[in-house]
Amino acid sequence: MNDPNRYYYYKILGLTSGASPGEVKRAYRKLVKAWHPDNFPHSPQQRQKAEAKIKKINEAYESLKHFQPAIARAPKRKVDPQPYYKQGVELARQNQYQQAIEELTKAILIDPDYIDAYLYRGFLYEKLGHSLRAEKDFNKATKLKLRTAATAPAQPPPPRQPQPSPTESQPWVQAGSFQKHLGVVSCVAISPDGKTLVTGSYDQTLTLWQLSTGRVLHTLTGHGGKVYCVAIAPDGRTIASGSGDRSVRLWKLSTGRELRTCGGWLGSHSDRVLAVAFSPNRRKLVSGSADRAIKIWRVSSGKELRSLCGQAAAVVAAAISPDGKVLASGGLEKILRIREMNGRLIRSIRGQSKILAIAFSPDGKILAAGGFNGAIALWDWQTGEQVGTLNGHGDRISSLAFSADGNTLASGSWDRSIKLWDWEGRTERYTLNGHSDRVCAVAFSPDSRTLVSGSADRTVKIWWAN
């Protein structure tokens, strides 16, 4: 039934005719709070006025609270959140972080599924020290990304495109930063299914994380010294770790339970274990040590199969070729040694610097090596010829990792940065900054779109490709 007083009631509530029931309710609550008689205990005249006002407000609300306007209002024009996002990014570049957060929040209010806005706002919250807000935004972005991936139709990978120079917009963003370890995060590894992250630390522990959310799954204790290296078997079942307690330990990835110590009561090495690597068939494990020895172990039993001597200094890095036929090692000397898996020396390659990190390209043809001089040497290990050099870091290089698709080489350095290289084109693509101390370890996910880094600043950072 049509109520002739309805226009008057809208006016009492301070609304325009046709306001929605939700707007009516909000206006009513605001007015009742302002005109409640208890607000005027020392003025009887004002209290009497408030009582009369409240009576009218209640009458108006009772008439309008269930009323639906007969004429539907025109649909709201869809607002584009992107200008707010871009404005937020621009303000952040000018160090106006609070204003930037306000603009990013507007973008999120318009589009609650705006992944990049959550990521960037989380980054700014972290920069301002609001760790809980940052973690909430990072987790929200992770969930949205996983939901998008689960519902998206399968498509063939896009053709490789020319990459922008390091001065162009950054396509990699920091998606999370986590701190649980009490010491240097010295090593990282990602499981073959891309679901689990393992980190090792100078605090003598390893931590298993759910990569998508940063949730801690297990803490592995047992080492009696700093953990220097970690690897995950290609079948995703076993973790290997090496420590300052001179042991190589094997753990079950799914539970974090320790399986065995290589060498048993005889021990693994006579000095710190600095490198571990699984063979592609996951049956063998290689370890390198400050005792200048390389040992090959049978994973199923922890039994030593072979001990390779001849190194003149500590073995810091070891890698096995993708086909499982070749073992490369380097350390605190300027020589790379290439061996068959039976131990026979194929070639010794002399470089320009002591070596801290090595990695085979996915096709097994190139061996990258980095060390004290801050440069990455690219070697054709079959001929011993150096085919390229990547320069750009300002300090020693501590970690190298090729992406599974073969497009990118990542390097972590004591200069606190991570660089991503077009190693075939011999050019730097991007620099990722965020760590406040030396970067000790980097690792790619199997899909090549997530990068994990560990640092002496005790944090683990997750980076996503946009």
All structural domains of the chain with their residue ranges: 6-64, 82-149, 172-465
User: What is the per-residue pLDDT across 194-253, written as a single tens digit (0 to 9) for each?
Assistant: 999 999 999 999 999 998 878 899 999 999 999 999 999 999 999 999 999 999 999 999
Q: How far is CA 86 from the centre of its chain?
A: 23
pLDDT for res 4: 60
Which H or E element spans position 130? none
Q: At what angle do helices 44-64 and 21-35 cross, to 10 degrees?
A: 170
| pLDDT band of 3, cuts 50, 70, 90 | low
Write down the mean pLDDT value for the chain.
88
> What residues pair up with 260 in beta bridges, in sequence order?
250
Handedness of CA 247, 248, 251, 253 (dihedral sign): positive
User: What is the per-residue pLDDT across 447-465, written as a single tens digit (0 to 9) for each?
Assistant: 999 999 999 999 999 998 8
Output the six-digit token pair for 453.
Answer: 């880094």
Q: Nearest to residue 463, comparing CAs of 227, 161, 190?
A: 190
More confidently predicted of 360 and 52: 360
User: What is the per-residue pLDDT across 311-351, written as a single tens digit (0 to 9) for each?
Assistant: 999 999 999 999 999 999 999 999 999 999 999 999 999 99
pLDDT for res 69: 63
Measure the CA–CA gap between 426 and 122, rounded to whole angstroms: 33
Q: Nearest to residue 401, comparing CAs of 423, 380, 383?
A: 423
pLDDT for res 37: 83
Q: Is the pLDDT of residue 427 over 90?
A: yes
Handedness of CA 24, 25, 30, 32 (dihedral sign): positive
Do 6-64 and 82-149 share a fold? no
User: What is the per-residue pLDDT across 152-184, written as a single tens digit (0 to 9) for each?
Assistant: 554 444 443 334 443 344 688 888 888 899 999
- In CATH, what is the architecture of 6-64? Orthogonal Bundle (1.10)
Q: Nearest to residue 439, comparing CAs of 419, 463, 409, 416?
A: 416
Measure the CA–CA gap between 458 and 436, rounded to whole angstroms: 9
Measure the CA–CA gap between 51 and 70, rounded to whole angstroms: 33
Give me the CATH topology for the region 82-149: 1.25.40
For residue 261, give the amino acid letter.
T
Q: Is the pLDDT of residue 129 over 80?
A: no
Give me the CATH topology for the region 172-465: Methylamine Dehydrogenase; Chain H (2.130.10)
pLDDT for res 158: 40
User: What is the per-residue pLDDT across 79-103, written as a single tens digit (0 to 9) for each?
Assistant: 898 899 888 888 877 878 888 898 9
pLDDT for res 385: 95
Output the six-digit token pair for 6.
Answer: 């309805």
User: What is the per-residue pLDDT across 348-391, written as a single tens digit (0 to 9) for each?
Assistant: 999 999 999 999 999 999 999 999 999 999 999 999 999 999 99
User: What is the per-residue pLDDT across 252-307, written as a single tens digit (0 to 9) for each?
Assistant: 999 999 999 999 887 899 999 999 999 999 999 999 999 999 999 999 999 999 99
Burial of residue 56 (number of CB atoms within 10 Å: 0-12, 13-18, 19+): middle
